[in-house]
Amino acid sequence: MVKSIVSRAVLQCVEQGVRSSSADEDPLEIFHSPATQLIKEEIVRTGHKLWQRQYVDGNGGNISARISKDYVVCTPTLLSKGDLHVDDLALVDLENRRLCGNRPHTSELLLHLEIYKTVPQARAVVHCHPPYATAHAIAGVVPQPNLLPEQEVFVGPVAISPYETPGTHEFARTIVPLAKNHNTILLANHGLVCWGDTVTHAEWYVEIIETYCKTVMVASQLRQRLPEIPPEKIPDLLALKRRLGLSLPDTRFPATSAEEAAIDEEPKRTRGSAGPDSAEVEKLVGLLTEQVIAFLEKY
């Protein structure tokens, strides 16, 4: 929560020097802006990382980032993430209309768009097919919880969506009941989707759940029912999660009030305008959060 408040304050200050409201802004200008270029490069790096880790095969998987209130940048269809370049990306509006880009965008963007519409704080979505997480999705098995602290802090409870044909509106709508309470969702007989505040963080969740599923499968061969973290220790992990500003989404926390939701939602700033590097903002937020927490712990 502290980090969320600090992040909101920093972004509001940044907003003072950045042109707001993209309603009348030229999509082409947004698409080719320096700020969007940084996000495009982050998408490409993430695509290469997914391919190198064998979380995607063939032309599988897709990545998107919401760069403004109205627009997202996404990967194309029928292209290996190992061959992905910045020029391959497209600008698409929330109604799935491609406005910029030379290649047709992924048909599975419909899934991403439903997440963006359902979860205002979602700024990036990664869909892929990591083998151990996908094995759980095929088997219809949610991995046993409360075994590793990292999983509980960064991901928490995992859900499985019902099967529908990928790339369809029906498939996209299966995510709606789950996305508000889960940043990581297994897609039945298909794969995995994660959302986060940045492309990099969404990809982190992919790595965490894939490692968790793999570790649980290996450990299950050693012992049938794995011993969980003691129940009385779980509140400590949830407290750490809240301190890191990761309390949303998580079904183990009370329902979020409208006021808290407003605090945790990133301001709808126009990323198509010139502004500071997102990494610089993240670094500043981290430093300020540490200082605020240190101050509060004195009292």
What is the arithmetic mean of pLDDT over 77-83? 97
Active site residue 108: yes
Least confident of 236-240, 249-253, 295-299: 295-299
Alpha-carbon span 263 to 163, nearest angstrom: 34
Name the band, by pLDDT with cuts 50, 70 and 90, for residue 202: very high
Instruction: State the pTM of this model.
Output: 0.79
Provide CATH code, domain 23-229: 3.40.225.10
* Residue 4 pLDDT: 60
* Residue 274 pLDDT: 40
Long-range contacts, stretch 277-284, CB < 8 angstroms, 24+ apart: 277/38, 278/38, 278/39, 278/198, 281/10, 281/11, 281/14, 282/198, 284/10
Locate 62 and state its tokens.
Answer: 């897709």
Please give the share of the chain, as a percent, with pLDDT higher than 70: 77
Domain boundaries, the chain: 23-229
Name the band, by pLDDT with cuts 50, 70 and 90, for residue 248: confident
- Asked whether residue 252 carries a pLDDT value surpassing 50, the answer given is yes
* Residue 270 pLDDT: 36
* Residue 251 pLDDT: 84
Only one residue has tokens 């700024």, namely: 123
* Residue 2 pLDDT: 59
Alpha-carbon span 203 to 195, nearest angstrom: 8
Catalytic residue among 108, 152, 164, 203: 108
259-289 residue pLDDT tens: 344 334 443 333 333 445 555 666 677 766 7
Alpha-carbon span 190 to 286, nearest angstrom: 36
* Residue 266 pLDDT: 41
Please give the share of the chain, as a percent, with pLDDT higher than 90: 71
- Asked whether residue 258 carries a pLDDT value surpassing 50, the answer given is no
Beta bridge partners of 90: 74
Mean pLDDT score of the chain: 85
Of the two residues 244 and 50, the one the predictor is more confident about is 50
Identify the three-state secondary structure at position 101. Answer: coil
- Asked whether residue 127 carries a pLDDT value surpassing 70, the answer given is yes
Of the two residues 297 and 132, the one the predictor is more confident about is 132
Contact 99, 126 (CB under 8 A): no
The secondary structure of 48-80 as a DSSP string is HHHHHTTS--TT--EEEEE-SSSEEEEPBSS--
